[in-house]
Chains A and B, each alone.
Chain A
Amino acid sequence: MVIEMLYFAWVREAIGVGQERVDPPESVATVAQLIDWLAGRSEGHSGAFADRGRLRAAVDQVFVALDAPLGTPREVAIFPPVTGG
């Protein structure tokens, strides 16, 4: 299952890229498990994902909780809590 990953704000800076294509194993069934798996990709990933309490996610552009089932998404975004307005 190929997923287009998007990262924003300091998550993007810590990882070093704003976008990447990944192919996680089938055992990855939730957003949190995807984050666990991605954390092993590089030091930047593990640093960005060190504190789960500071992460938010969107699956195919819909905000979801980290324990939400992943389904078969085209796009998953990981980012800090939003601070607009």
Chain B
Amino acid sequence: MIRAAVQTDPIDLAQELTAIEVTGAGGIATFTGLVRADDGVSALELEHYPGATDAALLALAERAAQRWSLLAVTVLHRVGVMHPGDRIVFVGVAAAHRAPALEACAFLIDRLKTDAPFWKRESRGAVASWVEPRGSDEDAAARWREPG
């Protein structure tokens, strides 16, 4: 079961987890990213490239499902205006055993940073600024490069 979506609605963890638990998995790994209140961030706005984003999330999910023989994979990313504490991204994977589940989950969160067309804009009160990419994100994504 592969589910990849861009949504403005809040992410319902219980519902998403239940959907991947029923696949007969032995191990489930999940990651939830929350909006941080870094240096007084009061709001975070997520812009994306409609169409291309959905395709990017689906491609990543399919790649992970194939590479780690997953029973289920869910990749959800919110767009629009969020506030500190809000869930911004959710990755959940189900596999027969724990190792592939944990690895696939790490792969997906690392690659989401560099492969999917989302842009973050932080607001601190009335002042808004676009978030600059970090070199460490590129490094994290690069470690999943397949040999050959």
Chain A interfacial positions (CB closer than 8 Å to B): 6, 8-10, 58, 61, 63, 77, 79-85
Contact = CB atoms under 8 A, between A and B. Distances in A.
Contacts of B121: 9
Given A9-B47, A9-B130, A10-B130, A85 B52 contact: no
A58 B117 CA distance: 10
The size bracket of the interface on B is: 20 to 34
Contacts, number: 66
B10 interface: no
A23 to B, nearest CB: 23
B50 to A, nearest CB: 9
B55 interface: yes
B116 interface: yes
B11 to A, nearest CB: 14
Given A8-B47, A58-B49, A58-B52, A84 B117 contact: yes
